[in-house]
Amino acid sequence: NPGLHYLNLQNGTVWRWNRPIYDPNGELSHIRVENRLLPAGPTVKDIIADAAFYYGLVKFLGEQTRPVWSRMSFATAEANFISGARDGLTARLEWPTLGTIDVVELVGSHLLDDARLGLEALGVAPDCIEDYLGIIHDRVDNRQNGATWQLAALTEAGAGSRPDTRQRREALARVLRQYLANQEAGAPVHTWST
């Protein structure tokens, strides 16, 4: 089994969304592809809900007669990506046949149904589909994800005070303690209060 040190070094410094990994460890050396596009939480239920939404939607969109990527320019997809990353649940996106639309409307009124059909085509149990896509539905309905919760919690805790003050450090510590307690409780982030 060749060690391929330089290949592993390259893969350790380049972070692609889908990353080929060669693992020469022990007798079971193997090659795998890591899919690194899903967010990490804040709870296990949130992670599973994100995965269900993503994989269901990919299945549905990939089987369309004319896939969405053939009806949207790269520049539009890039602008949507930037808007989604910057504005989160307040983003406005361009979508084929719908024009410019609020992301919560796009997800809640269109993409969740498509993801459901994709998960059904993959043979996912109906109760799992309802549970996990229900989390996505409630997240967009409540307009609260991990980022919006953190911003609201920081504002409420008084973390908007001047940097490097005792008040700000105490507020940040309170928010972190609350975040960890919520995470350990395991309820999806859209149910968290600040």
Q: How much is the pLDDT for 130?
A: 98
Give the tens place of pLDDT for each residue, 85-132.
999 999 999 999 999 999 999 999 999 999 999 999 999 999 999 999
Q: With bands split at pLDDT 50, 70 and 90, how would you rate the model's confidence at 15? A: low
Residue (of 50, 52, 12) closest to 34 by Cα position: 12
Give the tens place of pLDDT for each residue, 160-190.
677 788 888 888 999 999 999 999 999 999 9
Same-domain pairing of 135 and 170: no
Same-domain pairing of 92 and 68: yes
Same-domain pairing of 110 and 29: no
Same-domain pairing of 157 and 194: yes
Same-domain pairing of 131 and 169: no
Which secondary-structure segment (H or E) carries 146?
helix 146-157
Q: In whole angstroms, what is the distance from residue 150 CA to residue 28 CA?
A: 42
The Cβ of residue 4 has, within 10 Å, a number of other Cβ atoms equal to: 14
Same-domain pairing of 113 and 160: no
Its domain, for residue 31, covers: 5-35
Same-domain pairing of 107 and 187: no
Same-domain pairing of 168 and 83: no
Q: How much is the pLDDT for 86?
A: 95
Residue (of 117, 137, 114) closest to 126 by Cα position: 117
Q: With bands split at pLDDT 50, 70 and 90, how would you rate the model's confidence at 56? A: very high
Same-domain pairing of 85 and 138: yes
E strand intervals along 30-138: 30-35, 92-95, 99-102
Same-domain pairing of 70 and 30: no
- What total of structural domains would you count in the chain? 3
Same-domain pairing of 21 and 59: no
Same-domain pairing of 116 and 65: yes
